[in-house]
Structure 1
Amino acid sequence: MKTIAIIPARGGSKRLSNKNVLSLGGIPLMVHSILYAQANSDIVDEIYVSTDDAQIKEVALQYGAKVIDRPEHLSGDFEPTVSALKHVLESIEINVESVILLQATNPLRPQNLLQETFEVYQKGNYDSLFTVSRNHQKLGKIVENKFEPFNYTIGQRSQDLEPLFYENGLLYITKANLIFNDSIISENAYPFELNSIFANVDIDTQDDLELAEYLYQKFITHNS
């Protein structure tokens, strides 16, 4: 039973054209996830990129990943990520137990994150695990031009807020049989808390890419 990494990398980005192959730190954006999986070869047996784009396919093969050609009907703007993962599993012949989802648009991850999360995932015998980060903001809704606080009362200090967390997208680990049932996160999934500045990076705009470049140069290049 093998553990594989899957990197969905669709072409045709609307807000930031060709974002999956734009340069970050001198290499294409999605390659950061390929290299991250390769650096964890003691856990990851195979690395697959799922794409509908010829340029992305060429780059993925150049950097040593295997490519699964994603059909057009699974490549639309509103198609859920799980459909790409399921298609990969249906397209390969190896016996897969666990899938590590590495999203190309979350390229920066702490070096030891996969080691730490996979140990928790195995020891706890979880169906799935995903990374979360704490939100420290005062949140609310605007209803009929009136602001209604959601997680605090007016005048309450930020440090006294009840903890709220968000799914940061950096890493997911899931049993293959869960994906075959069209899920990535199970009801009893383990939320692995990660309070890292990298959790703020999810590239969808030029500003996001520039933030990622700044953090890459500051925290990764200078520490290598």
Structure 2
Amino acid sequence: MKILGLIPARGGSKGIPGKNIKPLDGKPLLQYTIEAAKRANLLSRIVLSSEDEEIITAAKRLGLEAPFQRPKELAGDSSGSLEVIEHALQFFSDAGEKFDAVCLLQPTSPFRRENLIDDAVNEFIRGGFDSLLSVREVPEEFNPHWVFEEENGGLKIATGEKEIIPRRQELPKAYHRDGAIYLTKTNVIKDQNSLYGKKIGFIDTTGDPYVNIDAPEDWEKAERLLAMITGQ
């Protein structure tokens, strides 16, 4: 299977200015994801998608391919990952290069365990999934079967059930996306205009170090995690 590894890194972050190339323990944030992608054996090609010339220059200096510049209209606060992926696929299609799937690797989730990407690709292929996500288990108190939504001034169980599951032992496992890996078949992206399709697989990262960097407090958490990982 031919898989495009796509690292999206736009400029203009408001929460943490210059986030993608800001040094984290002496390395640009972007470098953590580049290194993880390069360790993978099952990505056919790894490229950057950015509209920002400074990020493109930094990525090339780090050995990442940046064969195009993303249009600025796909780099705003409201721009979605799907449109960014579609743009990259169209660029390669116009150049005569096709991919069976895309692996989106967001720099804002910098900590990926050894072999995570290859393990995810193998599970994606083995399961014949439309897509595969890296996920973490939701704590019991936030399980959707124990979560309420507001309705007409009152509350209803978020899952639509009439009765609360009484015992935690009876709760089914629930997961949330951690942002580290999104794998999707190209035909699902193109034909269904979707990152997910109908058959979604997952790889569990619950036991791994985790941060999704969006705000200054997330950056501080990343620094603490790195200190723990490196023993500093």
| TM-score, scaled to structure 2 | 0.83
Q: Give the aligned length.
A: 219
Larger proportion of strand: 1
* Matches of 1:150 and 1:137, distance apart in 2: 14
**Unmatched runs of 5 consecutive residues or more in structure 2:** none
Per-residue deviation, 1:172: 1.5
Using the aligned pairs only, state the percent identity.
30
Structure 2 letter corresponding to 1:103: Q
Q: 1:162 to 1:76 in 2, by over 3 A?
A: same
Per-residue deviation, 1:180: 2.3
| 2:170 is equivalent to residue 170 of structure 1 | no
Q: 1:106 to 1:153 in 2, by over 3 A?
A: same
* Matches of 1:115 and 1:85, distance apart in 2: 20
Q: 1:76 to 1:116 in 2, by over 3 A?
A: same
Equivalences for residues 171-190 of structure 1 within 5 A: 171-181=181-191, 182-190=193-201
> Among residues 191, 205, 217, which one is paired with 1:194 in the alignment?
205
Per-residue deviation, 1:161: 4.0
**Unmatched runs of 5 consecutive residues or more in structure 1:** none
Q: 1:149 to 1:177 in 2, by over 3 A?
A: closer
* Matches of 2:90 and 2:5, distance apart in 1: 15
Deviations 1:63-122 (A, max 9, x none): 111223110221121111011111111112322112111011111011121121111111
Per-residue deviation, 1:7: 0.7
SS class of match (2:100): strand
CA RMSD of aligned residues (A): 2.5
Q: 1:137 to 1:145 in 2, by over 3 A?
A: farther
* Matches of 1:148 and 1:178, distance apart in 2: 34
Q: 1:135 to 1:10 in 2, by over 3 A?
A: same
Choose 175-184 or 5-14, whichever is displaced more. 175-184
Per-residue deviation, 1:145: 8.7
Please name the residue that 1:79 is paired with.
79
State whether residues 113 and 208 of structure 2, in contact with CA within 8 Å, keep that contact through their aligned partners in structure 1: no
| TM-score, scaled to structure 1 | 0.86
| 2:204 is equivalent to residue 205 of structure 1 | no
